[in-house]
Each structure stands twice: as structure tokens, then as C-alpha cells.
A = this chain, B = another copy of it.
Amino acid sequence: MIYDTVIVGKGPAGVSAAIYLARANLRVLVIGKGYGALEGASVIENYYGFSEPIDARILHENGMKQAKRLGAEILEDEVIDISQNYEDGSFSVSTPNEKFLAKSVLLATGKARKNLKIPGFMDFLGKGISFCAICDGFFFKGKRIGVIGSGDYAAHEAQELVRFSKDITIFTNGKEAESDKFPPEVKFVKDKILKISGEDKVEKIETELNNYQIDGIFVAEGTAGAGDFALKLGIVTKDDNILVDSGYMTNIPGIFAAGDCIGGLLQIAKAVSDGANVSISIKSYLKNKNGKGK
């Protein structure tokens, strides 16, 4: 079974696209955790059509009910990987427990990654700090690797990294390990990170209880965002925004992006409109693709 579109993110952009695509009788799956762009906004009063301020969570629930009523499937889960199957050009979208096949993918994960607020973090970006195990794991072959994170996404990155090194430490930064998918060979450091230090490049992670010699750090906190997938898939970004053409398609045919992750006005109105617009473009992409018998 293959979906016409798997949408990553269930904020206003993703769900608006799902509404349009489901209404066009396409098979759509939305996967997301949390509230997307509605996270943080408690009460909304500038989105057209509501005479009284509306609670962000109610708007979010309304949108999901609306999409489901029209035939979209919605899965409350975290996407930890997206990859392309080169035989047929289809895509695999993975959650910690399942893998879904799709003819097209829409990234609607909201505004990209938050940088870590740890002293030294900004100084060593690109100097031993990476956001993508598949991209950069090779550079740390046989070295001491730290992964900052505690959930499924961190576990997934660690699984990639054990192919390159057996010396992997998960720094949960004060949290408990929240995934059962960590490879057995990793060590855990669970106290808070105080500082990342080194001369020209990362050399050490200092925590409340100890110091750890480290050659490279992979950041995998929270949920993977559009920026993380972009890195892995080779999608072109600019200023932390995913670059799309006038049809909201990225440089990889079949992968689209909409909402806050492509920049522009960070407003529900704009995200919803992106969702409507990208659906037209996805429909036309799928039509051409099917037309060519692929």
C-alpha cells in the first residue's frame, strides 16, 4: 500500500493541505506530534472567521476533525526518518515503530530547529557539532561521539552512528532516556550539560558531575524538524528556511514544503494558504507522474 502523500507535521499548513488533498480523493496520511505552529500560541484572534478569540488547541482539534471527516488519516507520532527509494522514486517515512510508503512527501514541520542554549554551542557549530548522522557520521569513524538528546530521534541517530564508532555517549541533558530504541552499546550521561569546550574544534562536554572528552557532537533533541530532514535528503535551504519553487516543491522532485518551514509570514493565515496552494501542486505532480506510468 502506498500513500499519495505523507504529510509530516499536523499544524495548520499540513492539515490544510490534507483537507484539500483528501477532498480531491487522494490517499493522505498526516503524521505529527504536538501542535505545530499552534504550540505556544494560547489564544488566537487574528485568524479570519472567528468572531471571538479561539483557543489554539481547539483550532488544532477542529482542523484535525475537519481533515478526518474529509477522509485524511492522522497519526499522532514522530517522524524520525525520510528516505527515497531509488528503484521507483517513492519515499519511505519512518516513525519509531512503522514505515510508510508515499508517492510524495510534504514537509510541514513548522519553524526549524531551536539551537541549544548551552555555552559554547554556537562557537562550535560546524566545528564538530552536526545535526545529521547520515550526513556527517563518516567523519567521526572510530572517534568519540556524543549525541545530545533523549527521545526516539536521538535513538535513531545513535543507530546510524554505531556503524561508524563503538564509543557513543548519549547526553540526555538532565532528562531520562525516553526511547527503547537506543543501541545496546551506547553509554548514557544524564546530568545537565554546562558547557561545550575546545580549542579550534569540539574537545570536551562539561556536565555538572564530570567532563567528557568528545570528538564530535550530534544534536538530536526533541523532534526532527524540516531542517533535519532537509540535511539528510539534500534539500536546499537558505537562512534556515527550505527553498521551494512557485509550486512549493523543493529541489527534490516529489518532496514539497509549506508553512513556517519555508519562511515568509509566520502566521496561521499564511500557513493555511500554503497548504491550499501546495495541494494544487501535489495533485498536478501526482497526475503527471501517474500519466508517465511510473
Which residues of A pack against B, CB within 8 Å? Answer: 12, 15-16, 19-20, 23, 45-52, 54, 59, 61-63, 65-66, 69-70, 264-265, 267-270, 272-277, 280
List chain B residues, Cβ under 8 A from A265. Answer: 273, 276-277, 280
- Chain B's closest residue to A62 (CB) is B51
A46 pairs with B69, CB closer than 8 A: no
List chain B residues, Cβ under 8 A from A276. Answer: 46, 265, 267, 269-270
List chain B residues, Cβ under 8 A from A15. Answer: 48
List chain B residues, Cβ under 8 A from A70. Answer: 45-46
Q: Contacts A70-B45, A265-B280, A270-B273 known; A61 to B50 CB distance under 8 Å?
A: no
Q: Among the listed B20, B23, B63, B69, which residue makes an inter-chain contact with A49, where contact means beta carbons less than 8 Å apart?
A: B63
List chain B residues, Cβ under 8 A from A47. Answer: 49, 272
3 pairs of A and B residues whose beta carbons are closest in the complex: A273-B273, A51-B65, A269-B276
A23 pairs with B45, CB closer than 8 A: yes
User: In angstroms, how far is the closest chain B Cβ from the Cβ of A245?
Assistant: 15
Count the copies. 2
A269 pairs with B16, CB closer than 8 A: yes
Q: Among the listed B48, B50, B59, which residue makes an inter-chain contact with A275, where contact means beta carbons less than 8 Å apart?
A: B48
- Chain B's closest residue to A11 (CB) is B48
Chosen A-B contacts, 17 in total, with CB atoms closer than 8 Å, are A16-B48, A20-B46, A23-B46, A45-B66, A48-B272, A49-B49, A49-B54, A49-B59, A49-B272, A51-B62, A51-B63, A51-B65, A51-B69, A52-B66, A52-B69, A269-B269, A269-B275
- Chain B's closest residue to A22 (CB) is B46
List chain B residues, Cβ under 8 A from A63. Answer: 48-49, 51
A49 pairs with B51, CB closer than 8 A: no
Complex: A218 Cα to B152 Cα, angstroms? 69
List chain B residues, Cβ under 8 A from A270. Answer: 273, 276-277
List chain B residues, Cβ under 8 A from A273. Answer: 265, 267, 269-270, 272-274
User: In angstroms, how far is the closest chain B Cβ from the Cβ of A264?
Assistant: 8
- Chain B's closest residue to A264 (CB) is B277
